[in-house]
A = this chain, B = another copy of it.
Amino acid sequence: MNKLDESLLAPIPPFRRLDRMQIREILDEAVSRRFDAGVAIFDEGSDAERFYLLLDGTIRVIRTTPAGEQVIVLNIGSGQLFGIAPALGRTTYPATAVTADECLTLSWPASSWPRFVERYDGFASESYRTVGQRVGEMNTRIVELATQHVEQRVANALLRMVNQSGKKVEIGIEIDFPLTRQNISDMTGTTLHTVSRLLSAWEKNGIVASGRKRVVVTDPHRLVLLGSGPA
């Protein structure tokens, strides 16, 4: 295993208040691992043996229905903890974590969680702050799914990803990970057909530019309008 540098963890909220030695301790306990795009890091229902930190890449948290349909519950970007079932008193993962692109993770045994909470100042509060943000995001998703039309939901889903993983490019802001029509439909509770039609229409109007597994938002302002106002 290669030696990891302390500067990796220092800027990440749960570790921000720790000194160099504490971070060293934590790093020495961590298991580092690389994942290819499109593989599962852990599966819904399996024993929650470890918790993870995403160093680089993007992860989709998905649930699968008995009928085999997939729903993307949330996206996780680099620098965030995930798989923190132990923090919520769970012994199994409530959802599956799939890599959207190549990912680099650190992980620790679930059994270390209580010790981290106790020993490292700010770790618990910052971690639970993350949980709070996700709960907020899930709330928003529920409200959207319950009240908004497909077009608005798709617009809002794109905006959320732009905000979380937007990368400035020549013609606008690009969502910085592979993203198919099917993926978008799994987030918004619709079909890839409808998403395709919407993106085509928006492309004609100069709001987005999209290619294979790639979406660039060229006119965020108009997308916001689509996402809030009715047609």
Contact = CB atoms under 8 A, between A and B. Distances in A.
Interface of A: 63, 65-67, 69, 71, 73, 85, 87-90, 94-95, 125-126, 128-129, 131-132, 134-136, 138-139, 141-143, 145-147, 186, 188-189, 228
Given A66-B228, A89-B129, A134-B135, 5 more contacts: A71-B146, A89-B132, A90-B129, A131-B131, A146-B186
A189 B146 contact: yes
Contacts of A134: 135
Contact of A142 (B71, B131, B228): B71
A164 to B, nearest CB: 17
Contact of A69 (B135, B145, B147, B186): B147
B147 A89 contact: no
A10 to B, nearest CB: 20
Contact of A89 (B65, B85, B126): B126
Q: Is the interface of A mostly helix, strand, loop or mixed?
A: helix
A138 B125 CA distance: 22
Contacts of A67: 147
B135 A89 contact: no
Contacts of A186: 146
Most buried by B among A85, A95, A128, A188: A128
A125 B147 CA distance: 34
